[in-house]
Amino acid sequence: MRKITLIVALLLGAVQAEAQVLVTENFDTALTWTVNHVSGSSANPGWTRVTNGTNPNCTPTQGTGMAKFDAYNIPAGNNYHIQSNAVNFTGANYRVKFSMYRDGGYPDNTDRIRVYYNTTTNPGGTLLGTVNRSTALAPAVPANGWYNYSFNLPANLTATGYISFMATSNYGNSIYIDNVMISQIAEDDAELSNLSIDVIAAQGNLPIAGAFKNMGLNTLSSVDLNWQVGGGEIHTQTLTDLNLAPNASYNFTHQDAWASVPGQYTISVWVSNPNGNTDSDDTNNYLNRTVSIASGSATRFPLYEKFSSSTCPPCAQFNGSYFNPFSEVQHDNFALINYQVNWPGTGDPYYTAEVGSRVSYYGVNAAPTLFVDSQDGTNFSTQQLNNDLTNAAARPAFFGLTAGHTITGNNISVDVSVMPYLTGTYTVHAVVVEKETYDNAASNGETEFHNVMMKMLPNPSGTVVDFVLDVPHNFELNAALTGLNIEEMGDLAVVVFIQNNETKAIMQAAYSDDLLAATQFESVATIKMLPNPTTGIVRVSSTKPVDVIISDVTGKVVLSQNAVTNNTPIDLSAFQTGIYMAKMISGNAQQTQKIILK
């Protein structure tokens, strides 16, 4: 059996004269190209080199750097171009290739780049192509992420020339580009441009899908499409009768699906033998994707993180006209944390250093800013806010998450239970919020604020956990609630959530149950379900008959019994081992207890 390691070695080792590369720029060390502010009154530098992106959150597609156009902080109508150094063209056919990060924030804002060729250093020249930042605008793409683009230069160039990217701000999110290359166009060249394979997927038959592009001068009639998982079998499909014109793309789904089972894997996909010939540029033939296959899934409870301030007039408009009316209707369908920031001016009186840590974590530099499961959702539109919630809730979650907390005096204890359906390292956060505050009102006209962050447990870094699929994990967090901005101790709630620190993706969220709420009917010491942990049979220890409802970590009710009396056995042995929540109800009173089934 041939191995992918051999193929990759051959790909990396082959250097073809037909694919002569004139310029490469990956922005890993410095921004060496020339930046000019072409029009508009902004004092912003426009194009800079960064190692991490904010608004939207992203990292370089390869290497350590990328070029950023700061449209998020530049008023609409400002234009900046970034121009290459002089390039010597020697009479062949050439193209410029680059990667650009596309995102769905501010979907109607036409932040964009236009790519030009010019024989002088003046802005503009021959327009080669245009790419909008918004995924909803041309060329439309299905999801946030890096996409590769290429544009052909005028034919048979024999002069010294320049390539430039003209960026236009429409005051949406920022634009990021990386891996710019100017090279000669080869005769036969197929490029694997993207993979449509989720990085987390449920077990079962997983389609191997994506797109390739004809990067050669010749029409592409046939190509081999290949994939391999780890060092396993190589699956090859020969596509014929394509009639794919130069620069045209082809969306594919391989004839062989992958029969996946839970675990972590690397999928390698590559194209070969365009038109039955050796690929003239085999450096763009292959892509790898690391995939986690989950053993199950749970209903997602989205997390909303809002950065606002009582000294911020736009915050009052956003909250009063859009977010608060939306939240009044939808508040049961998501978890909310409101971080009060220390700007503009003196900032919100309830700002804390822990808020500052989350500001730095996301790179927030404007208020209001709203993240929906870590993706920008700052939309001044109630309809768009509803659409974002619908889309977020429709995505599966691969963690079950429950929590219960008790507050005794000024101390809080939070008991967190997680059922992971995949393996990996993630961070668990528990955040104490106050449901309504009033004393932080300042200058923007707002008089009450909701789910204001008071304390992060144990701190803003959270608790890093190495999860193993199908192995339940539970732990306890404790903190003193002294020296904070809490107005009423009886008005607190706790939000728990799981986050991927590498991508900032939110994996799951939940509200914690108040285990000592005023509705409980007996003390924790006198109402129990025993034994705990259990191998199957539990009994209620209570002086009163109770109705028992047992739910799994996804919130699904797995057992319900009415009027259970003291010492009556309840059989859980038919259920999968893990963590369950037992709710015991008598009249209008109730109490919740976590049960571990071994």
CA 257 – CA 209 distance, rounded (Å)? 9
Buried b (16+ CB within 10 A) or exposed e, 19-40: bbebbebbbeeebebebbbbeb
pLDDT tens digits, residue range 526-581? 677 888 888 899 998 888 888 999 988 767 789 999 999 988 999 999 988 878 88
Task: Answer with the residue of higher pLDDT: 58 or 12.
Answer: 58
Q: Which of 19-23, 89-93, 101-105, 327-331 has the lowest mean pLDDT?
A: 19-23
Average pLDDT over residues 456-475: 95
Residue 525 in this model has a pLDDT that exceeds 50: no
Domains, the chain, with CATH or none: 21-184 (2.60.120.200), 190-294 (2.60.40.10), 303-514 (2.60.40.10), 528-597 (2.60.40.10)
Residue 86 in this model has a pLDDT that exceeds 50: yes
Task: Kindly state the helix (H) or strand (E) to which residue 317 belongs, with its residue range.
Answer: helix 313-318
Residue 515 in this model has a pLDDT that exceeds 90: no
pTM of the full predicted structure?
0.70
Question: Which residues on neighbouring strands pair with residue 202, listed in sequence order?
Answer: 294
Question: pLDDT at position 526, please?
Answer: 60
Task: Answer with the residue of higher pLDDT: 328 or 364.
Answer: 328
Is residue 481 within 8 A of residue 432, CB to CB? The reply is: yes
Question: pLDDT at position 9, please?
Answer: 37
Task: Kindly state the helix (H) or strand (E) to which residue 327 belongs, with its residue range.
Answer: helix 324-330
C-alpha distances out from residue 459 to 12, 115, 360, 437, 497, Å: 45, 46, 14, 22, 14
Question: pLDDT at position 594, please?
Answer: 82
Alpha helix segments (H runs only) across 338-403? 353-362, 382-394
Residue 427 in this model has a pLDDT that exceeds 90: yes
Buried b (16+ CB within 10 A) or exposed e, 216-232: bebebbbbbbbbbbeee
Query: pLDDT category, 192, cuts 50, 70, 90?
Result: very high
Residue 447 in this model has a pLDDT that exceeds 50: yes
Residue 6 in this model has a pLDDT that exceeds 50: no
- In 3D, which of 377, 321, 316, 376 has the Cα closest to residue 344? 316
pLDDT tens digits, residue range 109-155? 999 999 999 999 999 999 999 999 999 899 998 788 899 899 999 99
Question: Which residues on neighbouring strands pair with residue 378, listed in sequence order?
Answer: none
- In 3D, which of 539, 542, 551 has the Cα closest to residue 513? 551
The residue assigned the tokens 């207890």 is 593
Q: Which of 101-110, 328-337, 367-376 has the lowest mean pLDDT?
A: 101-110
3-state helix/strand/coil string of 59-95: CCCCCCCEEEECHHHCCCCCEEEEECCCEECCCCCEE
Q: In what order do the strands lie in the sheet with 578-586?
A: 557-564, 546-552, 578-586, 589-597
CA 98 – CA 146 distance, rounded (Å)? 10
Question: pLDDT at position 554, please?
Answer: 67
Residue 439 in this model has a pLDDT that exceeds 50: yes
- In 3D, which of 475, 469, 474 has the Cα closest to residue 420? 469
Average pLDDT over residues 199-226: 95
pLDDT tens digits, residue range 397-407? 999 999 999 99
Question: pLDDT at position 155, please?
Answer: 92
Question: pLDDT at position 588, please?
Answer: 65
Is residue 380 within 8 A of residue 322, CB to CB? The reply is: yes
pLDDT tens digits, residue range 375-389? 989 999 999 999 999
Look at strands 126-132 and 546-552 and give their pairing.
unpaired
Q: To the nearest whole percent, how much of the chain has pLDDT over 90? A: 76
CA 540 – CA 470 distance, rounded (Å)? 27
Residue 8 in this model has a pLDDT that exceeds 80: no
Look at strands 569-571 and 537-541 and give their pairing.
antiparallel
